[in-house]
Amino acid sequence: MAMTIRIKRDLRGVKAKVGKMVKQGQYALVNQVHADSNIYVPKLSSDLRNQSTIAIDGKSIIWSTVYARRQYYNYGAKFTTPGTGPKWDRKALAIHGNQWTAIVKAAMK
């Protein structure tokens, strides 16, 4: 005797819920990346660290001093603050990347 089982799924609202989860994850990630990356930004007078902001779209971080680009690519320079240097976002990723993953997962629940 064959039995037929029918399953009906109501997926209304899934797109909106997933969109909200993605926004929450993005918000948590960019804020944590900003905080963690700023630790490794060269610090002489703190201007470069203090003038960093999160972009309006919430998808990037902007260090907005006239010398930010030069500091970011400044290999071979001697930085006065220990642990700081060029490509500070990549250093933060190497150190904090696993934590960022956990933060995004928690924010998206």
Cα radius of gyration rounded to whole Å, the chain: 21
Which strand (E) or helix (H) includes residue 52?
strand 52-54
Contact 72, 86 (CB under 8 A): yes
Residue with tokens 């960022």: 100
Residue 90 above 90 pLDDT?
yes
pLDDT in tens, 27-58: 999 999 999 999 999 988 888 999 999 999 99
Residue 65 above 80 pLDDT?
yes
Residue 77 above 90 pLDDT?
no
What is residue 47's predicted lDDT score, i.e. its pLDDT?
Answer: 87
pTM equals 0.83
* Percent of the chain clearing pLDDT 90 (strictly above): 75
Q: Where are the domains of the chain?
A: 20-107
Q: Please list, residue by residue across 26-49, b when 16 or more beta carbons sit within 10 angstroms of its beta carbon and e when fewer do.
A: bebbbebbbebbbbbbbbeeeebb
